[in-house]
Amino acid sequence: DTGVSQDPRHKITKRGQNVTFRCDPISEHNRLYWYRQTLGQGPEFLTYFQNEAQLEKSRLLSDRFSAERPKGSFSTLEIQRTEQGDSAMYLCASSARGLAGSYEQYFGPGTRLTVT
């Protein structure tokens, strides 16, 4: 399977605990994105990497959130001191440069986080 993979698929944690999610992008894609999706809504952008550099962060990404892509391949998203409001689907996507500078993003299956 050469698509975007995410691990774990589901995570249940207690409020106040830290969680870490992993994303493995499509191997030749240099761009990697994290989104968050709550029930009944579309995905909302969190952050974006080009190779190992984190180039953009949304205001949604509070200081409890940190993302890394140390070698420009896989990425991790950590949430510290989780809150019930963090419960959501966390989606990872990757892309490579397409025609006329457009970037089609390919999404992984997501990690569903439930904070109790």
Partner 1 sequence: SQQGEEDPQALSIQEGENATMNCSYKTSINNLQWYRQNSGRGLVHLILIRSNEREKHSGRLRVTLDTSKKSSSLLITASRAADTASYFCATAGTGANNLFFGTGTRLTVIP
For partner 1, the binding residue among 26, 29, 31, 66 (CB under 8 A) is 31
For partner 1, the binding residue among 24, 52, 74, 106 (CB under 8 A) is 106
Q: What is the DSSP string of 37-102?
A: E-TTS--EEEEEEETTEEEEE-TTS-TTEEEE-TTSS-EEEEESS--GGG-EEEEEEEE-B-GGG-
* Tokens standing for residue 73: 């391949």
**Cβ distance to partner 1 smaller for residue 72 or 80:** 72
> Is residue 85 within the footprint of partner 1 (CB under 8 A)?
no
- Taking contact as CB under 8 A, which single stretch among the options 17-25, 42-50, 66-74, 77-85 is the one that binds partner 1? 42-50
Neighbours of 15 (CB within 10 A): 13
Contacts with partner 1, residue ranges (CB under 8 A): 4, 31, 33, 35, 40-45, 48, 50, 55-56, 58, 89, 91, 93, 98-110, 112
